[in-house]
Amino acid sequence: MDQLPSLSALRAFEASARHLSMTLAARELHVTPGAVSLQVRDLETALGVRLFERRARSLALTAEGADYFATLRTAFRLIREATTALTMRARDTVLTVTCTAGFATHWLGP
């Protein structure tokens, strides 16, 4: 596999694995359970491995699925932390605007 799986497929798998439910994953991701199921199935096809054992009304991770989930959980945590750090830094930036009083009154005032 030369390309990475789509982020939406990875998110669908990660949420399904965390909840052990495609219905709960769908609620979290604001999509239908069918959309989650399709994303996970496409991911399994692309990877060439089953990630879940599908049972009547429940899911169980396969050994490969559990390993992949552990790695993805860490990856998503790192992405969340990096995003939080970046946005916090951006909030700490101060912008100082210098202009004449007339300009400020006309363009910057209420």
pLDDT of residue 58: 86
pLDDT of residue 56: 84
Q: Residue type at 53?
A: E
pTM (2 decimals)? 0.77
pLDDT of residue 99: 82
List the domain range (segments joined by +) for residue 103.
7-108
Q: Report the CATH number at residue 71.
A: 1.10.10.10
Residue among 40, 50, 45, 48 nearest 13 (CA) = 40
Give the tens place of pLDDT for each residue, 3-39: 899 999 999 999 999 999 999 999 999 999 999 999 9
Q: Is residue 1 part of a domain?
A: no
Q: Is residue 82 part of a domain?
A: yes
pLDDT at 82 over 80: yes
Burial class (CB in 10 A: 0-12, 13-18, 19+), 41: middle
Tokens 């069918």 sit on residue? 34
Q: Residue type at 69?
A: F
Q: Is residue 18 part of a domain?
A: yes
* Residue 97: strand, helix, or coil: coil
In what helix (H) or strand (E) does residue 10 lie, and over which residues does it extend? Answer: helix 7-19
Q: Is residue 13 part of a domain?
A: yes
